[in-house]
Amino acid sequence: MSNIEQTLSIIKPDAVERNLESEIKEMFKSNGFQILKEKKIQIEKAEAEKFYKVHETKPFYNDLCEYLSSGPIVVMILQKENAVKGNRELMGATNPKDAEEGTIRKKYGISIDKNSVHGSDSVDNAKIEIDFFFKD
Ligand code: UDP
Ligand code: MG
């Protein structure tokens, strides 16, 4: 049975800064993802704090929110069969050092904090995150 899903992807500041936007989009497309919507924006730290609220008790929370708001990002709605899990697989582990060959984070990630991409971790969070950036 088909299970077309949508998920939220972000190309983070470290990757936009290194002009990796087209290469990363190409990886999504060649892996069968459709980019339904996309925009390049820069967000305020307060918005990053809201987006990453689930991590507010973590020691890395403040730096993470500073970082996500430090430069332009590209936010995208990706669509594919089982898109949420498929995107997490294509991204690779949070720490690029642990990421498998062929994943975006293995290829482009610099460090556990500058790991080039974000992807929703569940279907429910995908809906919340898509609304966060694309609700008019
Ligand atoms: N992060 C960090 N230090 C850590 C763990 C995470 O800076 O020790 C950052 C990293 O940018 C990561 C984000 O916080 O992508 C969100 O963490 P999460 O555990 O949700 O990882 P992800 O879902 O992005 O793989
Ligand atoms: Mg996460």
Ligand 2 center from residue 121 Cα (angstroms): 6
Q: Which amino acid residue places its CA nearest to atom 18 of ligand 1?
A: 94
C-beta neighbour count of 47 within 10 angstroms: 16
Please give the Cα distance from 51 to 104 (Å, whole number): 22
Say if residues 75 and 9 touch (Cβ distance below 8 Å). yes
Active site residue 55: no
- The pLDDT of residue 109 is 98
- pLDDT > 90? residue 88: yes
Q: How far is the CA of 102 from the centre of ligand 1 (A)?
A: 20
Sign of CA dihedral 36, 25, 5, 96: negative
pTM of the complete model beyond 0.95? yes
Instruction: Return the CATH class of domain 4-133.
Output: alpha beta
Residue range 66-90: mean pLDDT, rounded: 98
Confirm or reject: Cβ of 35 under 6 Å from ligand 1.
no
Is residue 1 predicted with pLDDT exceeding 90?
no
